[in-house]
Structure 1
């Protein structure tokens, strides 16, 4: 019986790799550089070589390894076909088959946000649940949907792309996706800063944020915790926008719990409390008691998810 699995999380700058026991304990983790030159053609080979080196170092035979689970920053179909990853230079190809051929082990590939959600379900903030929606609030807004313990990839690998739900028909600024009024434009770190700067520039109301040269999402939440009324208004807007969007998602997915992660989530329960308040206001009655929790695995979530994906495959 296999004793080990590998979880891999490919980012635009580094690849994070974790070695896990079959029970979910991380034995080791390390990073290698993501070589995106020449269309990212070296990435999978570098990953395979690094894993081979670790197997030799730990004196682990491949027969003891169930396989490799890997998250990539882009849409991935259920069969492991990547539908372009701009950050990596990849086009359309089956990354699972390709890496499996190189290293001689089974490989499961999924979108990185879905993998992170799977990791949080397995060993993080969603542990104990098998139906979760993870919301990643960072520079952008990502999401991962786990139903019955399995990732929801969707036909085009776009399952869980909640950051691009349209929430404002009157928005004039363009989202990174090329459309206008996306959830990401209001609830990401950059969206919070945008709302703060707009409010600061259109009102004379006093605020500690006026003493900051470059406003950040962290400073907005910190100021709100200190009782700053203008900052509290921004936090309230953030919670209302996110809570309302999640209420719509609950009507379709009906999860047991929403797990909030990403850099913005470091602000803590001020986010879950505000979001949950508005969620209950907008949610369908059968979904009102959906739980909210913070992610706990941080940057390791994708590796944990990869390991879980291959364990469950």
Structure 2
């Protein structure tokens, strides 16, 4: 198969790589840029990269809701909302997906979930993204928004929020930053570092976010019965500090036959979404091609 251009578009950066199916090194990084400021700049960059690398297909991971190849809701890149990315490059097939979905596709193709048919991925960064592999397919749902785990809630009295889900407000990077600042620390990274070093007060501050992750994760595990839970994203680097507490809270809410579920970090790091975008463009059977 000819070269595939894989793009991982975030709220602040865009990264690109070339995949050449059948070769030992599946991804060749080609560059990193600031996220484009408008759709015209984005289209121009994609077109240039396609021409430079003679790409026959394009795979795109984007930070929001995708229906088919149309971007329905991209809160950090509003200029992308409503754009049908299949029209970006004439005569070049395009596969588009939510970045968490693409990350799990990458891990299922060549990472921590390779060879598995059922898995959950939590991408814990500034917010919380998620994806589910069920029966050998990445679930996308009727409108592309399946498995929006950051919106899971374990507090029936919570009033809700239009911009962030309950779990994001409890345990995502923004939440950890807020906890840290309320306790005279610079940010969530400092909080994690102090907890790892054995600071009892810092560890106590992480009990609630860990419990929130664990009890909500129990619902997802009970619903889907995965073989593995994979943790990715920026907070994954500090997940070792709260992993045991998350697992204890999760298993407490699970039936005995599901308590053996393992939580592991992803193997592909920040290349997972690129690997997933390439796999989707290559026609992976794990990728649901219609939404």
Say yes or no: TM over 0.5. Answer: yes
Distance 1:110 1:250, change over 3 A: same
Could you say which residue in structure 2 is the equivalent of 1:241?
212
Deviation at 1:33, TM superposition (A): 4.1
Distance 1:171 1:231, change over 3 A: farther
Determine if the alignment matches structure 1 residue 143 to structure 2 residue 144.
no
Could you say which residue in structure 1 is the equivalent of 2:279?
308
Distance in 2, Cα, partners of 1:13 & 1:240: 30
- Over residues 118-151 of structure 1, what are the superposed CA-to-partner deviations in whole Å (9 max), with x where a residue is unaligned? 1122223333423221111111111122223432
8 Å CA contact 2:195, 2:241 repeated in 1: no
Instruction: Report the number of matched residues.
Output: 281
8 Å CA contact 1:6, 1:68 repeated in 2: yes
8 Å CA contact 1:75, 1:83 repeated in 2: yes
8 Å CA contact 2:151, 2:164 repeated in 1: no
Deviation at 1:152, TM superposition (A): 1.2
What is the RMSD of the two structures over their aligned residues, measured on CA atoms?
Answer: 2.3
Among 61, 64, 75, which residue is 1:74 paired with? 64
8 Å CA contact 1:247, 1:284 repeated in 2: no
Task: Tell which deviates more after alignment, 161-170 or 182-191.
Answer: 161-170
- Over residues 151-184 of structure 1, what are the superposed CA-to-partner deviations in whole Å (9 max), with x where a residue is unaligned? 2111122112111112224457x756166xx000
Deviation at 1:239, TM superposition (A): 1.8
User: Where does structure 1 lack aligned partners over 5 or more consecutive residues?
Assistant: 56-61, 201-209
Determine if the alignment matches structure 1 residue 177 to structure 2 residue 163.
yes
Match of 1:256, SS state, is coil
Distance 1:178 1:260, change over 3 A: closer
Following superposition of structure 1 onto structure 2, how do residues 82-93 of structure 1 map, counting pairs within 5 Å? 82-88=71-77, 89-93=79-83
Match of 1:42, SS state, is helix
Distance in 2, Cα, partners of 1:178 & 1:298: 25
Distance in 1, Cα, partners of 2:200 & 2:157: 26
Match of 2:140, SS state, is coil
User: Higher Cα Rg: structure 1 or 2?
Assistant: 1
Among 101, 106, 109, which residue is 2:96 paired with? 109
Q: TM-score, normalised by structure 1?
A: 0.81
Following superposition of structure 1 onto structure 2, how do residues 191-202 of structure 1 map, counting pairs within 5 Å? 191-197=175-181, 200=183
Could you say which residue in structure 2 is the equivalent of 1:203?
none
8 Å CA contact 2:230, 2:265 repeated in 1: yes
Distance in 2, Cα, partners of 1:307 & 1:221: 33
Match of 1:183, SS state, is helix
8 Å CA contact 1:3, 1:21 repeated in 2: yes
User: Where does structure 2 lack aligned partners over 5 or more consecutive residues?
Assistant: 286-291
Deviation at 1:108, TM superposition (A): 1.0
